[in-house]
Amino acid sequence: MKGYISIVVLKSISESKKGQSGYGLMKSIEERCGKKPSAGSIYPILKELLKEGLVTVKKEGKKKIYITTPASKEYLIKFSEHKNQMIENVQHNVRYAGTILGLDAHKDVVELLDRMKSGEPPFGEFTHDMMQFRKILIPMLIDESLTKKKKATVRKILLKATKDLKAIKKSV
């Protein structure tokens, strides 16, 4: 089985007591991840999961309802164990680096990893937004061709966002 989206699809089906239709999957993944996958990405995955024996399908009228199999439950348990081991390794390395470098920020990273280990999105409902922000900001920080004027504009945007977020945090 290829890709992260396949795991998300399988996990979404397994969390539904009655199974899920393709459209229902798209909606539940949108709720979980903040972005709705297309039918063109969901249905080929469902076809592959059927082929691999990880889901079965039952018809309810015109709808196809996908249901997990015992093999998929075992697969998800193994995946979860592997994911948790990887997260624990990263946490260990982050703590180690934080100790060596004398940084407190590593505590935040460890907390985000704990959320991931428990199956939660690292930034909760803001995960999709944070991923989009990262996709834009990190390459800009690395881009050495960014002019001084553009760097100043980015800095201004970040300072304003920080100020606004501090005000929200203060009011909570």
Top-confidence residue, 161 or 116: 161
Question: What is residue 29's three-state secondary structure?
Answer: helix
Query: Above 90 in pLDDT, residue 163?
Result: yes
Q: For residue 10, what pLDDT band results from cuts at 50, 70 and 90?
A: very high
The token pair at 4 is 């992260």
Q: What is the pLDDT of residues 71-106, one digit of tens each?
A: 999 999 999 999 899 999 998 888 888 888 777 767
pLDDT of residue 43: 93
Alpha helices, DSSP H, located in the chain: 4-15, 22-33, 39-51, 70-101, 106-117, 127-142, 148-171
pLDDT of residue 3: 66
From the number of C-beta atoms within 10 Å of its C-beta (0-12, 13-18, 19+), residue 68 rates as buried
Q: For residue 159, what pLDDT band results from cuts at 50, 70 and 90?
A: very high
Mean pLDDT of 108-137: 85
As a whole number of angstroms, the distance between CA 50 and CA 8 comes to 15
pLDDT of residue 1: 45
pLDDT of residue 156: 95
Please report, rounded to a whole number, the percentage of residues in the chain having pLDDT higher than 70: 98
